Amino acid sequence: MKLYRIKKSKIDKNGLYASCDIKKGTRIIEYKGKIITVKQSETSSKFDNGKAIYLFNINKRFDLDGDFKFNTARLINHSCDPNCEVTGTGLKVWVHAIKDIKKGDEFSYDYGFSFDEDYENYPCRCKSKNCCGYIVREGSRWRIKKKKKKI
Ligand SMILES: C[S@@+](CC[C@H](N)C(=O)[O-])C[C@H]1O[C@@H](n2cnc3c(N)ncnc32)[C@H](O)[C@@H]1O
Ligand SMILES: [Zn+2]
């Protein structure tokens, strides 16, 4: 049984939603794509933006390019209070629940974008209580708060 369905999202265009209640730790959907070498991703212009949304590092040698229509998991939006995480097992990459998720909730994960000079080009619309206003990885959000305080 599919644990997800595609629906219009308030965050951005389409998103992926829970089709039933899901327990923390459940594997929801495989993040499918093409396995490429780290060397290929480092030298390809497709990934020359540090914010390659669809690129996941699997290990020292391989990355996964998920920028394909058949990869339904690519529809998952970012949130500053995510309910999912994307992790690798062997050469496979899975989206799994990091919280109990209710039927009808939108899946989200932290896109892990770095805080750099162009972070303001990526406003966040996740509307979570702790939203920092931009798509920036959890560990770097304090930099935004610090910057706001200074102004
Ligand atoms: C991987 S796609 C997600 C699926 C997308 N909603 C769609 O229907 O194709 C990533 C893009 O979705 C948008 N997005 C995802 N999460 C967002 C968020 N929290 N706030 C604003 N835009 C977001 C951004 O434009 C981002 O480049
Ligand atoms: Zn947010």
Q: What is the pLDDT of residue 50?
A: 65
Q: What is the pLDDT of residue 151?
A: 62
The ligand 1 atom at the shortest distance from the C-alpha of residue 79 is 19
Distance CA 110, CA 23 (A): 19
> Within 6 Å (CB) of ligand 1, which residues are found?
9, 11-15, 53, 74-75, 77-79, 124-126, 135
Whether the Cβ atoms of residue 55 and residue 42 lie closer than 8 Å to each other: no
- Which ligand is nearest to the Cα of residue 9, counting in written order? 1
Cα angle at 151 between 50 and 136, to 5 degrees? 25
Residue 123 predicted with pLDDT over 90: yes
- Which ligand is nearest to the Cα of residue 127, counting in written order? 2
Q: Which of 12, 107, 113, 130 to mutate to test the pocket of ligand 1 (most atoms within 8 A of CB)?
A: 12
Of residues 17, 28, 22, the one with CA closest to residue 104 = 17
In CATH terms, the fold of domain 4-113 is Beta-clip-like (2.170.270)
When pLDDT is averaged across residues 54-65 and rounded to a whole number, the result is 92
pLDDT interval class at 129 (50, 70, 90)? very high
* Look-up of token digits 């540090």: 50
Residue 103 predicted with pLDDT over 80: yes
Alpha carbon separation from 5 to 60, 62, 90, 106, 135 (Å, rounded): 33, 29, 26, 9, 24
Ligand 2 geometric centre to CA of 123 (Å): 8
Whether the Cβ atoms of residue 136 and residue 115 lie closer than 8 Å to each other: yes
How long is the chain?
Answer: 151
Whether the Cβ atoms of residue 138 and residue 113 lie closer than 8 Å to each other: no
Distance CA 145, CA 151 (A): 10
Please give the residue that has the higher pLDDT: either 56 or 108.
108
* Look-up of token digits 């974008």: 113
Nearest residue (CA) to ligand 1, atom 8? 14
User: First vs last Cα of the chain: how many Å apart?
Assistant: 51
pLDDT interval class at 145 (50, 70, 90)? confident
Distance CA 4, CA 117 (A): 36
* Average pLDDT value over all residues in the chain: 93
- Which ligand is nearest to the Cα of residue 108, counting in written order? 1
